[in-house]
Structure 1
């Protein structure tokens, strides 16, 4: 109808007659009130009461003085996608519904993940990695044949003690070690918010995924580990080189140590290695004070 009025310059009555449209339908203006504030309050109640369905939430809303029947409340509840999912299996740690904030300084948000590799004999082992999302610093790089949720908590405590700073948020995937009761208890006792990414979407934890790619490409694929002690020694040496000497393009070709010290205005709290490791591009070996080892 609007097209006919604009192109053929006819009246609304004429256009409706040609199309066989009732003019009352064209001129109708909805008198439904704006439900923006009600929707916002429903979302707040759902975030506070995770396991409440629409009936209980409707009762809470009406108790606050809102006037709304259960049919309209259920429609708004479903449009906001707040349905409670049925749980199955053991109890797991829960993440937050709120979106993650962009870190503005060191120790505001850490990301962590596991990387798998093997010894020369073929036995598998795991590497627990923790990265500061702001400075890109590798906070922790722990190798072991088995790493439980309790071990993850102990390593995080050690990192907090060494840095004398506690993260505000930790981001991880939904692995069994990271959704265990030990992690749930640790996050509550330390008052650290734990954010879980959506299942099957590793790009939501892009900082640690990028670090894992660098770790595997620059170190794991270039090194043959003979024992667990050897792996731990080499991993710590690579971590120090990564934090203090390796330039990062995302940081303006600066190191994480320089970013961490510059943002706080205080000396960097990490421990720099005693020797400077130089990488020679010709043979792919690293030399430290005249000694050569293959990486």
Structure 2
């Protein structure tokens, strides 16, 4: 085969050469001479004549268009298949945020060897966003360090509690900014979703009879744990429902009705007065005759919730869940003595340091102190001719004006 026969020849050129060969043959030339005249071999001439012999320019043009369309469709199908493969490749959840899209584009470039432009088109990521280099402001470095320090010390608390803690330390921080940095640093705490329950008809529940002042309603319930040797630990937390204070937190290997009375006596001696009501479930230690008789002697009443309705003792359940989440699930107690020491430290921290969202992000002890000072009423003598507030004896004789009256 000659050198020029190996060169690619278009359909229009082939048609033109065949027409020239046909003119030469009509002038008396043979096929071999005509083929040599147009610069091709005899087999190539006959192959061209068989393929393009009856075609004109319009037919060749249409054939060329069909070939181009076929090539375009093949490329489109291949591109579509590649796009589908690229969309299935990232996996691992929805690709929604710019950061997740940035990771997906980089993965496609590395795994499927596609260009960044193509990967961005498939993922739906602007190339300017993909190429943007995140530069965290220097002012966030100190705040991030404080958030990490707080999350390390209190791993079961969220960003709202962290923001309130930083504000109490004197830092001016925005809640949304704290939430953004908390999320970026991966400090989020997964929360369990609880089903909402109806209030029910329990007249002694927290929803039907709630506390309105300090020492009005106490609540208690048992929490169980164990030491490293498998022996049981029985915790008895008592909390004030109004201030959320931990009135008592005792732990023993076992507790009966006499131990409940002992813990209540110590709590009343420490607080200086007995509550008006005490709320509990119908456990045998709480409904025992010895406990009920002692409570009656002290002059306060019991509020027993309905059986199988722990949500009616909501404040005790809430404290017990915090106790388990922040202490019992984090500590491995070697001995009973160690449990007593750590329980005492947790109660002090809970009352004096731990911020409570229901109290306006104040510790319970600080809230109780502020409430007492705000509700300590001193009756002063009125000005002018008003009659001063006095008390009367049984014989209706007036005595000195009323002194300070404490409502707590």
* TM-score band w.r.t. shorter chain: 0.5 to 0.7
Q: CA–CA distance in 2 between the matches of 1:102 and 1:255?
A: 20
Residue aligning to 1:78: none
Q: Which residue of 212, 219, 228 corresponds with 2:336?
A: 228
TM-score, length of structure 1 as denominator length: 0.56
Greater helix share, 1 or 2? 2
After TM superposition, where is structure 1 displaced by more than 6 Å over at least 4 residues in a row?
none
Q: CA–CA distance in 1 between the matches of 2:222 and 2:204?
A: 21
1:219 aligns with 2:327: yes
Residue aligning to 2:295: 187
CA offset at residue 117 of structure 1?
A: 0.2
Q: Which residue of 238, 251, 261 corresponds with 2:359?
A: 251
Q: CA–CA distance in 1 between the matches of 2:322 and 2:347?
A: 11
Q: Which residue of 249, 270, 273 corresponds with 1:162?
A: 270
> For residues 89-136 of structure 1, what are the alpha-carbon distances to aligned partners after superposition, in whole Å with 9 as ceiling and x for unaligned?
xxxxxx979x95321111100000000000001111100010000000
Does 202-211 or 257-266 show the bigger shift? Answer: 257-266
Q: Which residue of 237, 240, 248 corresponds with 2:348?
A: 240
Question: Is the alpha carbon distance of 1:237 and 1:101 closer, same or farther for their aligned partners in structure 2, counting shifts above 3 Å?
Answer: same
Q: CA–CA distance in 2 between the matches of 1:102 and 1:202?
A: 15
Q: Which residue of 301, 304, 312 corresponds with 1:196?
A: 304
Question: Is the alpha carbon distance of 1:100 and 1:109 closer, same or farther for their aligned partners in structure 2, counting shifts above 3 Å?
Answer: farther
Residue aligning to 2:218: 110
Greater strand share, 1 or 2? 1
Equivalent pairs counted in the alignment come to 171
> For residues 263-285 of structure 1, what are the alpha-carbon distances to aligned partners after superposition, in whole Å with 9 as ceiling and x for unaligned?
1118xxxxxxxxxxxxxxxxxxx
Pairing of 1:96-135 with structure 2 (within 5 A): 101-135=209-243
Q: CA–CA distance in 1 between the matches of 2:270 and 2:238?
A: 14
Higher relative contact order (CA 8 A, sep 6+): 1
1:153 aligns with 2:256: no
Q: Which residue of 305, 314, 318 corresponds with 1:206?
A: 314
Contact 2:204–2:312 (Cα < 8 Å) also in 1: no
Q: CA–CA distance in 2 between the matches of 1:96 and 1:134?
A: 16
> For residues 221-261 of structure 1, what are the alpha-carbon distances to aligned partners after superposition, in whole Å with 9 as ceiling and x for unaligned?
00010111110000000100000000011111101001111
Question: Is the alpha carbon distance of 1:96 and 1:256 closer, same or farther for their aligned partners in structure 2, counting shifts above 3 Å?
Answer: closer
Q: CA–CA distance in 2 between the matches of 1:206 and 1:195?
A: 13
TM-score, length of structure 2 as denominator length: 0.41
Q: CA–CA distance in 2 between the matches of 1:114 and 1:167?
A: 19
Q: Which residue of 130, 142, 148 corresponds with 2:250?
A: 142
SS at match of 1:166: coil
Q: CA–CA distance in 2 between the matches of 1:102 and 1:223?
A: 33
CA root-mean-square deviation: 1.7
Q: CA–CA distance in 2 between the matches of 1:200 and 1:103?
A: 22
Q: CA–CA distance in 1 between the matches of 2:252 and 2:211?
A: 30
